[in-house]
Structure 1
Amino acid sequence: MEECAFLCGVGSSRGCRCPQKRQRPAERAAANAKRWSGGIASPMLAPPPPRCSLQDLPVEMLVEIFASLPGTDLPSLALACTKFHHILHTDSIWRRRCWEEFGFRENLQDLKMIGMSYRELYAKMFPYRNILGLWQLDHGYRTLLNVVVDGLCITGWTCRPSLNTHVDGLMQFEPLFRIRLTERKSATVECMEGRHSRPHNRHMQIQKDRFSIQCIKTDHQKDSPTRPWDERGRVLVQEDGQQYDCLTYRRLYLPPRHPDDLIRPGLFQGKYNAYCLTIAMLSFHGKYARVTKIMGITKTLALEIHIMRRIQLRDGEISRSFNELSLAVQEIDQQVIREQQQQEDGTEESQGHGWQSPALPSVGESGAAAPEEQPVPFVLPVGVQSRDQNYPRTCRMCFYGVHMVTFHGFTYPRRFPGVFILFDENHFGFIWLEVKYFILYSRVQNTFQNVEAPSPQAFLEMLKNI
């Protein structure tokens, strides 16, 4: 009986359901003799595993599973069987896909009023999935464009710095184009700029990391100049005897964040002159940090910060003497140039990274300070000019940096050494020693969607193209 209970998986109190209990005594004896012939037990065959299929799961569970899959996988899943095909018509699946992939958060009543399901809405938005995110204009004044799902439309918002020319102000947004998703046949692309802001149809060409939109030239209020592109980046295109204003954008990714970064990377507003602000991107790359200008005139501006070459502050604050500070930075700059030349010549890299200055204690490849380091007082050196006097009066760290400027008509950038000042999580600055000018940067407080790079390599490739 114990052996029978083991085979059947039930106890004696519940009764045995084994087939051998229903056998006659003679049949049981023959079976036992066959199993125990020769005094050696024959191996027992394991019962076959139970057949388990995805189709056997409850419909409610399948709906939850399908709703968590990417929308690109669902059409193939619908071809698997008739049951899956019917389940994938459940609107809650496509509602979740619209929410997670496109950020669509309208309620079902809005769709019922226009007679559209979430499945139909997803099909309308799917061809435009690659244009969601942040973009940079290719020509002219490099404005930024943020493309988001806005209600039952996909809207492209032109992003510009604050009009009050203060680095802490919020960015301004103006609609450039709108894709209406409520049309029954196909989505319609409308241009939101032109004569008296009258919307008109716009042609759009979408690629993976680039897209262009063009309108008939006469639909815009101002005539295009004779040059191939104007200050707003419009390119004059001739097609079929018609003239078009064409705008081309390339994708921007925000830098990824790592635990050892000094502060959170991202977009910052900087004040280069008295008339306008510009947008720059702070990113970290091991021993270096980079501030890349991504908005403004076509002239390229970038800061290269040597994180391992920290400038130690004397007596709790940066030197107020411009000559002392300039001398200290020049010593570091000469050492950096020597090391770069040694690397280019293939010689052994210098082992002595530290240096000594009579003005400041020491600077070297000693590593960045801990994030919990206490702020110290900060005052601009005498003679250094700034367009923004509302800079923080305390800072955390100072580093050697180089301002790289590529002027129009030149292939290689010109380098200007200076001092990078890290104030806090949302502010940093740079002292351009050659022109005795201080630039303050403040973090952009606006948030953007669909701006994560798919891989570190993709972000570096984008940064290289800028």
Structure 2
Amino acid sequence: MEECAYICGVGSSRGCRCCQQRQGPAETAAADGKPAPAPAEKHVEADAAAQCCAGSGGIASPMSPPPPLHCSLQDLPPELLVEIFASLPGTDLPSLAQACTKFHHILHMDSIWRRRCREEFGVCENLQNLETIGMSYRELYAKLLHPCRHILGLWQLDTEYYRTLVNVVVDGLCITGWTYWSCLNTHVDRPMQFKPSFRIRLMERKPATVECMEGRISRPHSRHVQIQKDRFSIQCKKTDHQKDLPTQLREAWGLVLVQEDRQQYDCLTYRRLYLPPSHPDDLIRPGLFQGKYDGYGLTIAMLSFHGKYARVTKVTGNCNPRLEIHLMHRIQLRDGEIFRNFNELFRVVQEIDEQVIREQLQQQEDGTEESEGHGWQSPAQPSVREYRAAALEEQPVPFVLPAGVSSRDQNYPRTCRMCFYGLDTVTLDGFSYPRRFPGVFILFDENHLGFIWLEMKHFILYGRVQNTFQNVEEAPSLQAFLEML
């Protein structure tokens, strides 16, 4: 009793509120000489007792929360801080190093930056390779990888006469730009061949150096690079490589080109290529395909879906036609017999072409013509979804080239699934406006496409590119993808 009275701080146990709460009404009245309080008054006294205990520095009520614990990130052991810092983006670490001296010293540990180089850029080199050039992972990240991060990805070299494909990747302790090599005798199902075009590397604690790898005779020589988000340009002194035609094509053709040296420096501009966005209702997975348009080797094209249309756009080569596939105008195969009669196939396509022209004229008169910025962004139509479901359920039918139709690739699939009306638009030399070439777009399977130009009686086979590109992204939006095309 005395101990309880001491905790409450009210003197003897007789006056202790805790004891009064444990006593019954009769006992309380007998002790104080007063009648027992009502139930409501009893609760008031209990609340007062809790306030008395809290105010007197004694034991708080069991319902009161414990006092908060004051813990700082600086109190954690260094090995735990290393693990935490290594999981943060490298761009956040410099500001974190300014927080205190302890963080500054910990963030100089190369194990943290080694993990950031591996997770953000795929660098798998060991520390010994860096020590041979007097470099640390922190310096590699700060001087090469982070400043050049915008140059990684898939790019198109857009010159006046020819377009090539370049994949810029982290290659060991360098950043290398690999250029697509158009080989004359490569089949569409074989992987593309690449050769180095330029590289960016660090040597002996010097700033990043850009080296040109082009040229058949000269050794790598210095270049200057200017990097933006969606474009970059490279400038170098001319040696033995020309501006307007890739070196690999001259080697393949065996041509001797004599061109006027119009300028002292060779300035090349690259623009970023996005992969087309995909949708569950697409007939097949969009992406890059390669085909033989002419006798100068394989050309890369990009297949994309835009609602009730699809498009095959060339991204390499000496011209940039646009093959437009009308998914709403399907050509019935009738067990493949239509391919055996060229005149019948030509008649069917001509009727669809006349219908498409009438529809476009009617839309112009009604003021409802689908512009590229609107109609091409529409979601897949219900009938397109039905076509996809039908393509998965239908059995392939035999496919043969119609009589009189030529092809540069005779190793094409012998069965196909679906055919659609397609329109190729090409601007030829001497013409102000692009010419229309209607034809038949053929869906063989997930990895093979085909198109028959009926007027020219020519067939081209496309095979999906088998190479795996690094640092390539899908377009952030359909509008951004259309602007890129």
Length-normalised TM-score, structure 1: 0.80
Alpha-carbon deviation of 1:96?
A: 2.1
Q: In 2, Cα distance between the equivalents of 1:86 and 1:177?
A: 37
Q: In 1, Cα distance between the equivalents of 2:429 and 2:357?
A: 25
Q: Is the 8 A contact 1:318 1:378 kept in 2?
A: no
Aligned to 1:352: none
Alpha-carbon deviation of 1:214?
A: 1.5
The one of 230, 240, 246 equivalent to 2:244 is 230
Identity percentage of aligned residues: 70
Q: Give runs of aligned pairs for residues 390-401 of structure 1, distance below 5 A.
A: 390-401=411-422
Structure 1, gaps ≥5 residues long = 1-18, 350-363
SS state of the match for residue 64, structure 1? Answer: helix
Equivalent position amino acid for 1:202 in 2:
R
Cα 1:388–1:51 shift into 2, 3 Å = same
Q: Is the 8 A contact 2:165 2:316 kept in 1?
A: yes
Moved more, 434-443 or 101-110: 101-110
Q: Give runs of aligned pairs for residues 42-81 of structure 1, distance below 5 A.
A: 42=47, 46-47=65-66, 49-51=68-70, 53-81=72-100
SS state of the match for residue 391, structure 1? Answer: coil
Alpha-carbon deviation of 1:159?
A: 0.8
Q: Give runs of aligned pairs for residues 428-447 of structure 1, distance below 5 A.
A: 428-447=449-468
Q: Is the 8 A contact 2:443 2:450 kept in 1?
A: yes
Residues 321-378 of structure 1: per-residue CA shift (max 9 Å, x gap): 11211222222222222222233333679xxxxxxxxxxxxxx878323253332211
Q: In 2, Cα distance between the equivalents of 1:73 and 1:246?
A: 35
Q: Is the 8 A contact 1:267 1:279 kept in 2?
A: yes
Q: Is the 8 A contact 1:308 1:367 kept in 2?
A: no
Moved more, 62-71 or 195-204: 62-71
Q: Is the 8 A contact 2:448 2:463 kept in 1?
A: yes
The one of 201, 206, 218 equivalent to 1:185 is 206
The one of 43, 47, 58 equivalent to 1:40 is 43
Alpha-carbon deviation of 1:442?
A: 0.8
SS state of the match for residue 23, structure 1? Answer: helix
Q: Is the 8 A contact 1:430 1:439 kept in 2?
A: yes
2:375 is aligned with 1:372: no
Q: Give runs of aligned pairs for residues 193-342 of structure 1, distance below 5 A.
A: 193-194=214-215, 196-217=217-238, 220-221=239-240, 230-232=244-246, 243-297=264-318, 299-316=319-336, 318-342=338-362
Q: In 1, Cα distance between the equivalents of 2:417 and 2:165?
A: 31
Question: Highest CA radius of gyration, 1 or 2?
Answer: 2
Give the CA RMSD over aligned residues: 3.2
Alpha-carbon deviation of 1:251?
A: 1.1
SS state of the match for residue 214, structure 1? Answer: strand
Q: In 2, Cα distance between the equivalents of 1:425 and 1:305?
A: 16
Q: In 2, Cα distance between the equivalents of 1:348 and 1:302?
A: 23
Residues 234-280 of structure 1: per-residue CA shift (max 9 Å, x gap): 99786xxxx21111111112223332222222211111123322111
Q: Is the 8 A contact 1:317 1:376 kept in 2?
A: no
Alpha-carbon deviation of 1:430?
A: 0.5
2:105 is aligned with 1:105: no
Q: Is the 8 A contact 1:269 1:278 kept in 2?
A: yes
Q: In 2, Cα distance between the equivalents of 1:408 and 1:64?
A: 63
2:145 is aligned with 1:131: no
Aligned to 1:115: 134
Q: In 2, Cα distance between the equivalents of 1:321 and 1:61?
A: 75
Q: In 2, Cα distance between the equivalents of 1:22 and 1:312?
A: 100
- The structure in which a higher percent of residues are helix is 2
Alpha-carbon deviation of 1:414?
A: 2.7
Cα 1:267–1:25 shift into 2, 3 Å = same
Moved more, 206-215 or 162-171: 162-171
SS state of the match for residue 319, structure 1? Answer: helix
Equivalent position amino acid for 2:348 in 1:
A
SS state of the match for residue 170, structure 1? Answer: coil
Cα 1:138–1:82 shift into 2, 3 Å = same
Aligned to 1:149: 170
Q: In 1, Cα distance between the equivalents of 2:349 and 2:106?
A: 68
Equivalent position amino acid for 2:276 in 1:
P
Alpha-carbon deviation of 1:62?
A: 3.8
Q: Is the 8 A contact 2:133 2:204 kept in 1?
A: no
Q: In 2, Cα distance between the equivalents of 1:386 and 1:253?
A: 30
Q: Is the 8 A contact 2:288 2:465 kept in 1?
A: yes
Cα 1:22–1:339 shift into 2, 3 Å = farther
